[in-house]
Amino acid sequence: MQWDIVIGLEIHVQLATKTKIFSGSSTAYGAEPNTQANAVDLAMPGTLPVPNEQAFRYAVMFGLAVNSEIERRSVFERKNYFYPDLPKGYQTTQLERPIVGPGYVDIDLANGESKRVRIHHAHLEEDAGKSLHEDFHGMTGVDLNRAGTPLIEVVTEPDMNSAEEAVAFAKKLHSIVTSLGICDGDMSQGSMRFDVNISLKPKGSDTLGTRTETKNLNSFRFMEQAIAHEVERQMDILEDGGVIEQETRLYNGDRDESRSMRTKEEANDYRYFPCPDLLPVEIDDTFIEDARSRLPELPDARKTRFKDQYGLNDYDAGLLSGDAKLASFFEEAASHGKDAKLTANWIQGEFSARLNAEEKTVADSPITGAQLGDMIIRISDNTISSAGAKKVFDALWTGENDNVDAIIDAKGLKQVSDTGALEKMVDEVLAGMPDQVAQFQNEEDPKKRKKMLGGFMGPLMKASKGQGNPKLFNEILLKKLEG
């Protein structure tokens, strides 16, 4: 049987506010356990929440960026359940009246098509702390530093039909929130976490199947694997005539396996009700317009601009505009180096390869956009060959020297472009290879001729001690051989 895959996502985005959503504690990551938890975060008796305006501003900016209506009056509710890392015994969140209403995000697919994924809503809430099960023999450690960190939970419609689409959406959302500067986007620290709702239905059917929810995926790779794994699991069950149980599952990325966390019957009754400690939040036009004025250029607009301004093709423009830091690195390099296409190639080639090999992000890059631009200039004006440029790049990367021209000088990478000198070398080399010259001149097949031409380049480069301009050598050779 053929199946349609139906995927909806819930994404928790940690907001990059300095302090927590309802208290003045710092939200910085990595502090000693419980050093960033004050009386409010610890839910000491009598303490009360005070909303952090910046969290609301960020939520509104997000809503505007995903084409959503901003709800003028949003209400916080209490979601009641007991867990040691939930100090109040309830999470303060939004349910009936979320701050961000329906919207949408357009994603680009590998086949060049674009797809619209609808946002159902996004709401503000507080994060829980962390329960630490390792290093506490027979006990559980509780770290409340994270408790009260502001989150927006983004809930999509079930509009995605493959792992590829879900990952493309996730990456797009990552790109939007990092461009907005409302989230640091560091998935390894849990700044973005994904819950994936998956169901299958017979191909073409209108009726949705029973869905499962796989929780807390914190990388695009795990998300892709978890979806593949769950689709396969459900398909096996359905094809054996079984039924899918509505449940919440946990995926272990290291082992590529999942297990049931709780079934529908075991689900909590959260007993939501409006939080009486917080008044409804009224958002007025002034606040919305202020948030709008703070919106930076968003990935979609940037992509269009990259195509217009730098003449990039759709693919390059898409890749370079997605990540705000990469985009600004590209722009610095391209504005310096003048050749945007060549800059794009270097960023997607050598630059990305080195970052990946060393597990670095653009922010950690040892070379600046301006340095890369300087190097591009020297490629464009034929001062160095692309082989020479690789050596320059390496020297910049390792910090051996930070000046492109100084590296070229020190390493003797400057190409010989004096045609008189090059012609003389060609004459000498051809004089020493009469048989090959005759063979070339008798050959009619252009492919073979091209290959044979390469046979002269080796000796020429050797004669020029590697400094002859290959492009010029090529031109001179052809003139001499065909002339």
Residue ranges in contact with another protein by CB under 8 A: 39, 42-51, 78, 80, 82, 84, 87-90, 140, 142, 269, 271-273, 276-279
Q: How far apart are CA 71 and CA 30, in angstroms?
A: 34
- Is the Cβ of residue 140 or residue 304 nearer to another protein in the bound state? 140
- Is the Cβ of residue 150 or residue 388 nearer to another protein in the bound state? 150
DSSP character at residue 271: -
Q: How far is the CB of 55 from another protein (least distance, A)?
A: 14
Q: Which pair of tokens denotes residue 190? A: 């849990």
Q: How far is the CB of 22 from another protein (least distance, A)?
A: 9
Other beta carbons within 10 angstroms of residue 323's beta carbon come to: 20
- Is the Cβ of residue 235 or residue 278 nearer to another protein in the bound state? 278
Q: How far is the CB of 142 from another protein (least distance, A)?
A: 7
Other beta carbons within 10 angstroms of residue 141's beta carbon come to: 15
- Is the Cβ of residue 109 or residue 279 nearer to another protein in the bound state? 279
* Phi, psi angles (nearest 5°) of residue 186: -80, 100
- Is the Cβ of residue 3 or residue 272 nearer to another protein in the bound state? 272
Q: How far apart are CA 359 and CA 363, in angstroms?
A: 12
Q: Which pair of tokens denotes residue 406? A: 């100084």
- For residue 405, with 0-12 CB atoms within 10 Å meaning exposed, 13-18 middle and 19 or more buried, which class applies? middle
- Is the Cβ of residue 253 or residue 274 nearer to another protein in the bound state? 274
Closest residue by Cα to residue 337 from 387, 393, 378? 378
- Is the Cβ of residue 158 or residue 274 nearer to another protein in the bound state? 274
Q: How far is the CB of 78 from another protein (least distance, A)?
A: 5
The residues near 15 (Cβ < 8 Å, ≥ 6 apart) are: 21, 54, 55, 58, 59, 149, 150, 151, 152, 182, 183
What is the DSSP track for 343-359?
A: HHHHIIIIIHHHHHHTT
Q: Is 12 helix (H, G, I), strand (E, B) or coil?
A: strand
Q: How far is the CB of 163 from another protein (least distance, A)?
A: 34
Contact assessment for residue 93 and residue 86, using Cβ atoms and an 8 Å cutoff:
no
Q: How far is the CB of 145 from another protein (least distance, A)?
A: 14
Q: Is 319 helix (H, G, I), strand (E, B) or coil?
A: helix
Q: Is 248 helix (H, G, I), strand (E, B) or coil?
A: strand
The residues near 449 (Cβ < 8 Å, ≥ 6 apart) are: 440, 443
- Is the Cβ of residue 88 or residue 303 nearer to another protein in the bound state? 88
- For residue 207, with 0-12 CB atoms within 10 Å meaning exposed, 13-18 middle and 19 or more buried, which class applies? exposed
Half-sphere exposure of 55 (CA within 13 A, CB side): 29
Q: Which pair of tokens denotes residue 63? A: 């809503």
Q: How far is the CB of 136 from another protein (least distance, A)?
A: 13
What is the DSSP track for 423-449?
A: HHHHHHHHHT-HHHHHHHHH---HHHH
- Is the Cβ of residue 44 or residue 109 nearer to another protein in the bound state? 44
Q: How far is the CB of 173 from another protein (least distance, A)?
A: 31
Alpha helices for 84-214 (secondary structure H): 163-180
Q: How far is the CB of 42 from another protein (least distance, A)?
A: 6
DSSP character at residue 68: P
- Is the Cβ of residue 50 or residue 370 nearer to another protein in the bound state? 50
- Is the Cβ of residue 73 or residue 360 nearer to another protein in the bound state? 73
- Is the Cβ of residue 144 or residue 425 nearer to another protein in the bound state? 144
Q: Is 370 helix (H, G, I), strand (E, B) or coil?
A: helix
Q: How far is the CB of 56 from another protein (least distance, A)?
A: 13
Q: How far apart are CA 416 and CA 421, in angstroms?
A: 8
Q: List residues bridging with 125 in a β-sheet.
A: 151
Q: How far is the CB of 378 from another protein (least distance, A)?
A: 60
Q: Is 325 helix (H, G, I), strand (E, B) or coil?
A: helix
